Chain A
Amino acid sequence: METMLKVDDINVYYGAIHAIKGISLEVNKGEIVTLIGANGAGKSTTLRTISGLLKPKTGTITFEDEVISGTAAHKIVEVGVSQVPEGRRVFSNMTVMENLEMGAYIRNDKSQIKLDLDKVFHHFPRLAERKKQEAGTLSGGEQQMLAMGRALMSAPRLLLLDEPSMGLAPLLIKEIFEIIKDINKEGTTVLLVEQNANMALSIANRAYVLETGQISLSGDAKELAASEEVRKAYLGG
């Protein structure tokens, strides 16, 4: 299998706080990989570092054989990595359509953008209905869909998802996870950060368990879901 993303022994600090202590992980082309763990384990920090919002003090991040640790965040999008940030962070003061246009900011291929827009509307028909509405007026679930649609508009090869289930009703979470599976089937590799370990493990190929800035377990998602250790700590059983 072809390695798409390789995180090699990164250390990340917030000021004096050592948030990520030597994490290494890999995402292969076509996979869904999930990063699970408790609040404050460093899941979001890892994603933010991959996206270039934080710089690792040591260690490297490689995407398709290109070193991207140290590259500016806005340039990492051009390389093919797009993130749906925690808390959705849609541009509430702009319409749904404008949000999606911002997602395609780095692109100029009008006809291809139009095709991707149709794809997004196919995944999220509700966004098409609300095209002209301000994003701030959407419900939490719709905002999550918009944040995902917006990230897809850059036509990423790797999609980073940070807690897509946060604050959503169980039915909606199911719907969102079905869509993540569809997006993956259509060729986008996914790195998913979740607190909802059950859901995450159910759709992922492989998983890493993060504990206070370090990877404590990793392996096949189904095996991890069945393991005693993970069940006790994260699956409430």
Chain B
Amino acid sequence: MGIMDQFFQQLINGISLGSIYALIALGYTMVYGIMKLINFAHGDIYMVGGYVGFFCITIMHLPVLPALVISMVLTGLLGILIERIAYRPLRSAPRLSVLITAIGVSFFLEYTMMYFVTPQPRTFPHILSDVAYHIGPFVVNNQQIMIFAITIILMALLTYIVQFTKTGKAMRAVSFDTEAAQLMGINANRIISFTFGIGSALAAAAGVLVGIYYNSIDPLMGIMPGLKAFVAAVLGGIGILPGAAAGGIILGIVEALVSGFISSTFRDAAAFAILILVLLFKPTGLLGKNTNEKV
């Protein structure tokens, strides 16, 4: 395999990994956009999504797609519940209180899950037989194609909701100016709930896909991808949806290239180096612009 071939192979691996990051990062960025909250529990919501998918497949013997949908719905509801119980009472509290609460929710989810499902990693059943497609010198397997396809479909769906539905427009209005949105008769609390639901559902999808791709889930699996997705969201410009998608994919590709060409021990370092570079040189992110206010 020549160096170019290897490059493209890692590119393919990077895109599937990046799709996962992108799905998590979208929820991160949506919640930030609407509440200015870095929801550090978001990675754990992704973990719960993975477990719900796992139980759907192993206990209820469901195929991949129904398991994915059920996991998205239940985890979405969990997200709404978390917002209602943990964050809503703090709506007018200082931002630091909410941030600390988010870290508390994160621990709560991790260790509650550990209590119920044990800290032992579970092996995801092999539900998709491995089919590898050889395109020239490259190998793409069916799981990578599935991850990428589902990510694209979910992103298209999200774009449609945010751009064209009344609720989606209200989401944009609330995230731009909550008070002005209320003056339009928009129930901001309801829109925030909805946003949490959607973001959590996307994270759940990522959790199920990761389970299928890497065959293994455990209660602490959300910590690293959660942080990475945060990096992806900042890289794209936090609060900006296309930014989160692009940031996720770029981060996945960079990690795959670093693993492939340097050493896989450096992949996490690469991700956080990106965070440092973004914060140093373009804190608003790739797609972020400095806002000018007209008076």
- The chain A residues found within 8 Å of chain B, CB to CB, are 51-53, 72-75, 77-78, 82-83, 85, 87, 89-94, 98, 101-103, 105-106, 136, 138-140, 143, 150-151, 154, 166-167
User: Nearest CB to that of B175 among chain A residues?
Assistant: A93
Please determine whether B294 and A136 come into contact, CB atoms closer than 8 angstroms: yes
- Would you give the shortest CB distance from A29 to chain B, in whole angstroms? 22
Please determine whether B169 and A85 come into contact, CB atoms closer than 8 angstroms: no
The 7 closest A-B pairs by CB, nearest first: A77-B185, A106-B185, A89-B180, A73-B182, A102-B184, A74-B187, A105-B184
Q: Out of A52, A72, A85, A138, which one reaches B180, CB within 8 Å? A: A85
Residues on the A chain within 8 Å of B294, using CB? 136, 138-140, 143
Q: CA A164 – CA B170 in complex, angstroms? A: 24
B interface SS class: helix
Residues on the A chain within 8 Å of B186, using CB? 74, 102, 105
Please determine whether A82 and B166 come into contact, CB atoms closer than 8 angstroms: no
- Would you give the shortest CB distance from A190 to chain B, in whole angstroms? 16
Q: A91-B172, A92-B176, A105-B186 in contact; A167/B181 too (CB < 8 A)?
A: no
Contact of B59 with A by CB under 8 A = no
Total of A-B residue pairs, C-beta within 8 Å: 77
Q: CA A136 – CA B293 in complex, angstroms? A: 8
User: In B156-215, which residues have CB < 8 Å from any A CB?
Assistant: 166, 169-170, 172-173, 176-177, 179-188
Q: A74-B187, A74-B188, A140-B294 in contact; A102/B179 too (CB < 8 A)?
A: no
Residues on the B chain within 8 Å of A87, using CB? 295
Please determine whether B185 and A105 come into contact, CB atoms closer than 8 angstroms: yes
User: Nearest CB to that of A151 among chain B residues?
Assistant: B183
Residues on the B chain within 8 Å of A138, using CB? 294
Contact sample, A vs B, 7 pairs, CB 8 Å cutoff: A51-B183, A53-B182, A85-B180, A91-B177, A93-B172, A101-B166, A102-B186
Q: CA A106 – CA B182 in complex, angstroms? A: 11
Q: CA A154 – CA B186 in complex, angstroms? A: 11
- Would you give the shortest CB distance from A104 to chain B, in whole angstroms? 8
Q: Out of B169, B185, B187, which one reaches A98, CB within 8 Å? A: B169
Q: Out of A51, A91, A101, which one reaches B176, CB within 8 Å? A: A91
Q: Out of A74, A94, A154, which one reaches B169, CB within 8 Å? A: A94
- Would you give the shortest CB distance from A63 to chain B, in whole angstroms? 15
Q: CA A193 – CA B173 in complex, angstroms? A: 25
Please determine whether A105 and B182 come into contact, CB atoms closer than 8 angstroms: no
- Would you give the shortest CB distance from B170 to chain A, in whole angstroms? 7
- Would you give the shortest CB distance from B177 to chain A, in whole angstroms? 6
Q: A51-B183, A105-B186 in contact; A140/B169 too (CB < 8 A)?
A: no
